[in-house]
A and B are shown apart, each in its own frame.
Chain A
């Protein structure tokens, strides 16, 4: 069998290919709804669904791997016996049109959910998924993935990576399922020619040149290893944090959660995992009301230090992917870029 690592797909063949894929698995893609919002949704009839590859999806892939609420286990209490049942198995799913930042976030989640114990529920979904990314030729208004090393194109991690090079896509396969898929549907594709490669490279350079925001992420990360953040910065940011949790909910790498029992009747119930965030006031509060974190001064400290200081120290990379979603959502204007700007300008104490 020939090595089908990189191929060209004519745009005319995109929908026929997606139609085939949809028969194999649940297909999720960015879909523009009747309100004009672009969200990752299951694709039903491809011809009547508005698959939107022009706009940034408003949410990341996070909800599909760590749903806002999910049942981890059901429990019953029957004649004194307290027993637990496993959650339903995951469905085979193909994600199409995923941006580089959001796949990078998923690779980070893989790390979090496997150290040192594998989260079975998460990995069941992950192992039943194939991710097809779409490289960005044009950053969106708030994007800064170039500064976080998570775009605009990717080098690994994807099942397939699509790059729009005009009337066709330049398609690269990752290991495993992506390459299998290209082999299986090879008749939709043609070989890569030199002109395709040149075009791709040229678009990559252009994309990198189009970032309007200069956010010094690596500099901030290195500086955080060296010197503390001035208390005044925390106080300034925390004074405009309204505890809404919005930044953490839209963030593709904020994966903190809570687990609670929801009784269904006297003898049974479900154990539910739901999103939680260190920016919420109850996050660290213990039984009896004691809270080791002073929230009025340090509401945002954990969030920013986790992403930029601690994750940089342990993984060599910040766990911010530069997707820019937290910028839009914060009406207090205290998103991660504000912090980076304030801190990088901080003079050495």
Chain B
């Protein structure tokens, strides 16, 4: 797709309500001849009529193309507006932008995903992609474990995806900060789930969620012996262009939109970044 300021039109094919705040919008380009492909971890600049643009991670696997999912939490003007849209409505997209997760290094690995809230969105793209691959190729991933934290049981998003992953052999462990009468699972922070997980030299950990969660999970993973080059996260910053020009996501000589949003801890250590406080 043309990587400039003119968005391409996309049509909302389906809306999957994930929880009170989060919905997944399944999009398709109206011009099917436009070349469009992406890798897990990349993001799009989404245009919503009269609301401008926002950077949104792609939450589906590239294997689902031409359909592409954006899972969006209702937070500001643009995200509230798209939550008011319906199937058949049009939005604009530019991209894909940013560096992806190094999925080529994930073959034969034990993958550990640690997510909080909407942070599962970019990781979902990787999980779906790995599961799709393992159905096809010999050198697929060894195992997939997901640790997922939510505020309350009703905040748990991506339930449909999680059920399908469990059926495909993904070890999914959920926790909530506050339980209610319906919940008999784990209560507490997602870092507590880490103590029951085996981490070996073959583990690659992918972490995404609120900055404070990322910080503590990275610290715990390091304590458990996970190497800096084996822990990946994806950063969220205010962005206006996605192309390395507008300057908003500039961080210590790096641009999150070009050099990120995916970083390993070894790269984060060189940056003055709150997700990795030294």
Contact = CB atoms under 8 A, between A and B. Distances in A.
B39 to A, nearest CB: 16
Given A284-B238, A292-B274, A309-B253, A72 B5 contact: yes
A297 to B, nearest CB: 12
B4 A119 contact: yes
B6 A86 contact: yes
A313 B248 CA distance: 20
Contact of A255 (B7, B47, B245, B258): B245
A288 B117 CA distance: 15
A84 B49 CA distance: 11
A257 interface: yes
Contacts of A256: 246-248, 250
Contact of B238 (A82, A83, A273, A286): A286
A284 B237 contact: yes
Interface string B215-239: 0000000000000000000001110
A213 interface: no
A122 to B, nearest CB: 8
B246 A259 contact: yes
Contacts of B253: 305-306, 309-310, 313-314
A326 to B, nearest CB: 17
Interface residues on B, range: 35 or more
B123 to A, nearest CB: 20
Contacts of A285: 238
A75 B49 contact: yes
A116 B244 contact: yes
B237 A117 contact: no
Contacts of B88: 80
B240 A287 contact: no
Contact of A263 (B50, B89, B90, B241): B50
A73 interface: yes
Contacts of A309: 253
Main secondary structure of the interface of A (DSSP, over half): mixed
Given A75-B49, A84-B92, A259-B53, A112 B245 contact: yes
Contacts of A273: 5
Contacts of A112: 245
B9 interface: yes
B91 interface: yes
Contacts of B246: 256-259, 276
B215 to A, nearest CB: 12
B3 interface: yes
A41 to B, nearest CB: 27
Contacts of A259: 5, 52-53, 240-241, 246
Interface residues of A, number: 47
A22 interface: no
Contacts of B3: 117
Contacts of A314: 253
B125 interface: no
A269 interface: yes
Contact of A84 (B7, B79, B244): B7
B75 interface: yes
A271 interface: yes
Nearest to B273: A292
B15 interface: no
A83 B9 contact: yes
A116 B53 CA distance: 20
B88 to A, nearest CB: 7
A121 B241 CA distance: 13
Interface in A109-136: 112-113, 115-121
A82 B4 contact: no
A55 B254 CA distance: 38
B243 interface: yes
A257 B241 CA distance: 9
A278 interface: yes
Given A278-B247, A292-B274, A310-B253, A261 B51 contact: yes
B5 A73 contact: yes
A190 interface: no
Nearest to B50: A263
A205 interface: no
A273 B244 CA distance: 15
A120 B238 contact: no
A287 B236 CA distance: 11
Given A256-B248, A287-B76, A314-B253, A117 B243 contact: yes
Nearest to B75: A287
A260 interface: yes
B244 A261 contact: no
Contacts of A81: 9, 90
A271 B47 CA distance: 10
A230 interface: no
Interface in B2-53: 3-7, 9, 47, 49-53
Interface string B54-93: 1000000000000000000001100100000000111110
Closest 3 CB pairs of A and B: A256-B247, A310-B253, A287-B76
Given A80-B88, A261-B52, A271-B5, 7 more contacts: A84-B9, A116-B258, A118-B4, A120-B4, A261-B50, A292-B211, A292-B273
19 contacts: A72-B6, A73-B5, A75-B47, A81-B9, A82-B49, A84-B6, A84-B92, A256-B250, A259-B241, A261-B52, A263-B50, A271-B52, A276-B247, A276-B248, A286-B237, A305-B252, A305-B253, A309-B253, A310-B252
